[in-house]
Amino acid sequence: MGVIEALLGNQAGGAVDQLSRQFGLEGPQASSALEALLPAVAAGFQRNASSSPGLEALLGALGGGQHGRYLDDLQSLGQQETVDDGNGILGHIFGSKEVSRQVAQRASAQSGVGADVLKLMLPVVAAMVMGAMSKKQFGGAGQQAGFGQALGGQGGGGGLLDVLTPMLDSNRDGSAVDDIIGMIGKFMGGR
């Protein structure tokens, strides 16, 4: 199972189709772009959640927002409100527009999709990831599963980072933590 399917479940195909239409890409290009952007976005969430204020802010956003709607109604991915929310999310997880530009440049080199398109896609991807975490935290029945399950999968598995760990664990040591720290260091410190 690919990372997109693991993250988005049965909405994966529809999400890729929506992104293809929205950004003028072929289906395989949209999939490649999404696969290139997801690890950096996940690493940003992980870095942000590693501090007490960042964790509190993320939990508040998950509890107070209606982020699950992005996956429930894929048409909402094309709305300006989603882009605005995604830009706000990126501001929290990356800290600056420069980091977002660097993420788009690196993802462009991986995916072959232009960095300008990826810069436009990045807020939508951030909103989708937030939606996936929200759905994992609050589940189908609206019950809170806990932040550990939503982000890391502790206490039951299946969290977002459990899904993304194989992509983030570039040195294949079984832990993505060192790789995430290195990735964020590259994004924050330049090249």
Q: Give start and end residues of each alpha helix (H) in the chain.
A: 3-8, 12-23, 27-49, 52-64, 69-72, 80-94, 97-111, 115-138, 147, 160-168, 177-189
Q: How far apart are CA 93 and CA 102, in angstroms?
A: 14
Q: How far apart are CA 134 and CA 143, in angstroms?
A: 11
Q: What pLDDT, in 10s, does the model give residues 98-154?
A: 999 999 999 999 999 999 999 999 999 999 888 887 777 665 433 344 444 444 444
* 140 against 82, higher pLDDT: 82
pLDDT of residue 191: 41
pLDDT at 89 over 70: yes
Q: What is the pTM of this model?
A: 0.72
Split at pLDDT 50, 70, 90, the class of 156 is very low
The token duo for 71 is 């996956």
Phi-psi region at 9: left, alpha or beta (left = phi > 0; alpha = psi -120 to 50)? left
Split at pLDDT 50, 70, 90, the class of 63 is low
pLDDT at 32 over 90: yes
Handedness of CA 133, 53, 162, 146 (dihedral sign): negative
pLDDT of residue 183: 52
Domains of the chain by residue range: 3-189
